[in-house]
Structure 1
């Protein structure tokens, strides 16, 4: 298992947090997602053989947020 933190811009409320959680958990290989609205980031535990960091970033961006690895 790998871990990565993504900085996310555009989250303003609990609904945004739930959206980020939902879209990331939908990806195969994502094991755990912890979103922090206060820190504007998400910590992700994932299987690097199943999903890439670029895919994680793309999934968040497709949901309407700006994301980049911390």
Structure 2
């Protein structure tokens, strides 16, 4: 199992956290998603394709730094 940590600087509220968690959670191979509002990071555990995770964050309306 791999861990991917991404910086998403425009996370600003609880709704942002939920939207990212929902979209990333749909990506094949994702086992767990943790979105930290304080550090504006997204941690993904599993064997998901990093490009697919980045795309899912984009679908949630956010950009990876």
Match 1:61 to one of 46, 58, 62: 58
SS in 2 for 1:56: helix
Runs of 4+ deviating beyond 2 Å: none
TM-score by length of 1: 0.85
Cα distance per residue 1:17-42 (max 9 Å; x no partner): 01110001111210011110000001
Q: 1:5 offset after TM fit, Å? A: 0.2
Paired with 1:4 and 1:28, the residues of 2 have a C-alpha distance of 14
**Which of the pair is proportionally richer in strand?**
1
Q: 1:55 offset after TM fit, Å? A: 0.9
TM-score by length of 2: 0.91
Q: Which runs of 5+ in 2 are unaligned?
A: none
- The number of equivalent residue pairs is 65
The aligned counterpart of 2:25 is 25
Paired with 2:50 and 2:4, the residues of 1 have a C-alpha distance of 8
